[in-house]
Amino acid sequence: MDIKKIMVVGAGQMGSGIAQVAAQAGFETVLHDLNLDIVNKGLETIKKSLAKFVEKGKITEAEKNEILGRIKPSDSLKNAADCDLVIEAVVEKMEVKAKIFAELDQIAPPHAILATNTSSLPITEIAATTKRPERVIGMHFMNPVPLMKLVEIIRGLQTSDEVYQVIEELSRKMDKVPVECKDVPGFVSNRVLQVMINEAIWCLYEGVASVEGIDTIMKLGMNHPMGPLALADLIGLDTVLAILEVLYNGYGDPKYRPCPLLRQYVKAGWLGRKTGRGFYNYS
């Protein structure tokens, strides 16, 4: 199967990054969201990212313009009608993703693959909302997408071998390293990462050390490029909480129980970088 045109549903931090790497790999790309204001914000993010690549000499100004020329804005899912692959990158809520996949199943051509960038939700359950479960797959990119090399590829119960091979090859064309995972809550990346982030929040909640102290210990002691609390702010505390809820409900194991402080921050609207306040103040 030959992938020529890709739609990315969701123009936020992850979706804009996925659209960028798709266009950089030479694919005709459609960036979709609920309205064009959101899409234009995503396009601005892509422009800034590519400008940094030009500054660092990774691409030329002409190449930057060619990449941007491959990305078309969309505020209607009907634009998926001639796409070979749709990658969904919206909020981490099953009911939202299920609705989108059911709609895409009606619109996208029969040969099209429907992929989800979910970081924790079951691929099999998402696939069950369509009449093409064999053509549904998980394609979990890491944040920030243009810089991070990994893509977790997750087969649902019915995902075909052909679809897996197409997505694995596509990931390499996007200059990513694909790694296959089973369809379990959190896959590998978040099953391991979120326990560390949650434990760091518990340390803060119990007064073991300050925000800066916890992050400094993990950076200097474990050689992590970023501390777990700063990383939580980058991911978004609402997303961290949503993933931990999926892990806690999926495994029934108390080690995934979200720290009360995390719930409190989310209820306060302190969601991290995107709101200007999380464990750190960005204003």
Token reading at 19: 């659209």
Is 106 marked as a binding-site residue? no
Is 119 marked as a binding-site residue? yes
Q: Which position among 16, 117, 119, 120 bears the catalytic label?
A: 119
The burial of 143, by beta-carbon neighbours within 10 Å (0-12 exposed, 13-18 middle, 19 or more buried), is given as middle
Q: Which residues pair with 31 in a beta bridge?
A: 8, 73
Q: Tell me if residue 140 is catalytic.
A: yes
Q: Which position among 74, 117, 152, 198 bears the catalytic label?
A: 152
Is 51 marked as a binding-site residue? no
**Cα separation of 6 and 30, whole Å?**
6
**Is 71 within 8 Å of 31 (Cβ atoms)?**
yes
Q: Which position among 16, 88, 120, 140 bears the catalytic label?
A: 140
**What is the DSSP pairing of strand 85-88 with strand 5-9?**
parallel
Q: Tell me if residue 16 is catalytic.
A: no
**Cα separation of 70 and 64, whole Å?**
10
Q: Tell me if residue 63 is catalytic.
A: no
Is 10 marked as a binding-site residue? yes
Is 274 marked as a binding-site residue? yes
Is 13 marked as a binding-site residue? yes
Is 97 marked as a binding-site residue? yes
Is 212 marked as a binding-site residue? no
Catalytically active residues, by annotation: 119, 140, 152, 190
Point out the annotated binding site for NAD(+).
10-15, 33, 92, 97, 119, 143, 274
Point out the annotated binding site.
10-15, 33, 49, 56, 92, 97, 119, 143, 274
Point out the annotated binding site for CoA.
49, 56, 119
